[in-house]
Amino acid sequence: MKNSFQCPKCNSTEVVEVLGQRFSQQNVPLNTWQTKIGIQDRYICCNCGYTEEYTRLNDDFKNWAKGALKKQRGKDGFV
């Protein structure tokens, strides 16, 4: 949907892009004080309302994800 601007549910091509804002409830907090956040952009079908969300893979997110993946793998016993 992000690239094709076509809804995978109803095939409508009336898809709008709603870019995330710095101070939005939709954002993914990456630290306690939310000085680092993952901003989420949304793609919404104007025919059926189906919505997809994408987190921007900026440097803040990539750095945070490295640590999170390491922690996650440790928990499951996989390295």
Site residues, Zn ion (CB under 5 A): 7, 9-10, 12, 45, 47-48, 50
Query: What is the nearest approach in angstroms of Zn ion to the Cβ of residue 9?
Result: 5
Query: What is the nearest approach in angstroms of Zn ion to the Cβ of residue 42?
Result: 14
Measured between alpha carbons, how far is 40 from 19 in angstroms, rounded to an integer?
7
Closer to Zn ion by Cβ: residue 48 or 68: 48
Mark 15-43 as b/e (b = at least 16 C-beta within 10 Å): beeeebeeeeeebbebeeeeebbbbbbbb
Closer to Zn ion by Cβ: residue 9 or 62: 9
